[in-house]
Amino acid sequence: MKAKSPCVNETALSDILAISEVNRERLEKSAHALQAKKNTLPIRKGDKVSGAYIVTKGCLRVFTYTPSGHESTFYLIKPGETCVFAINCLFNQLLYPAWVSAEEDTEISVIHGSMYKQLFQTEVAIQNLTIDALSSAVFKLMTEVEQLQGWNLSQRLANLLLTQASNENVVTMTQQEIAGRLGTTREVIARILSEMSAEGLVTTGRGRVGLLKVDALAVKLST
């Protein structure tokens, strides 16, 4: 069975936003679809934000670059979620402050900014989506900061493998993609994976990492 990325799902916009019939018709006229192929950048730092971005299929990763040139991930946007950075830009007339990469072939519904602001005034579903995006982003950022301060790179890699593995205990990411997620180089990731492989914790292959001893990987997070 082919392993699937935990990001890949598909959610219709109508299932995400339970709004009134009148506003639903207005929303459908205002919203348009945006498709992003894997590893492309649908949004770049400094872009003008035209609307609210809601992922309906696939997965987006919001990141920035460190002074050393490595990528540092802020958070992921999965089906049914929106981007809090974009929402902040809409309401405060700011340019987008980061880069966004498609982790998989991704479909995005873009709700025009003026329409989103109007719906935010009256529709509970839009208000809840906005609040959920804010609270989720804050939690993810806090978790990332705690990991950076308290975990070494081997622990952060173990955590990524555990959280991104499919039901078959397979992570379908290249070493370069893992390095980008953790803000390091492919060579460093290759070395740590080699050490984990020697311990019998994982197996590695082209574009994949298999988890052999999940419990042992989890122990790494506390040692």
Least confident window among 13-17, 90-94, 197-201, 215-219:
13-17
1 belongs to a structural domain: no
211 belongs to a structural domain: yes
Q: Are residues 179 and 132 in the same domain?
A: no
72 belongs to a structural domain: yes
Q: Are residues 137 and 187 in the same domain?
A: no
Domain CATH number, residue 45: 2.60.120.10
pTM: 0.68
Residue 141: is its pLDDT beyond 80? no
Q: Are residues 120 and 60 in the same domain?
A: yes
| Domains of the chain: total | 2
C-alpha to C-alpha distances, 105 to 10, 64, 124, 137, nearest whole angstrom: 11, 21, 30, 22
Q: Tell me the mean pLDDT in the region 5-21.
A: 68
- 54 near 84, Cβ under 8 Å? no
Q: Are residues 126 and 158 in the same domain?
A: no
Q: Are residues 21 and 116 in the same domain?
A: yes
In this structure, what DSSP letter does residue 48 have? B
Q: Tell me the mean pLDDT in the region 154-182.
A: 88
Find the domain containing 170 and state its range: 151-220
Partner residues linked to 81 by β-bridges? none
Last residue of a domain, one of 92, 118, 149: 149
53 belongs to a structural domain: yes
Residue 3: is its pLDDT beyond 50? no
How far apart are alpha carbons 217 and 195 in whole angstroms? 12
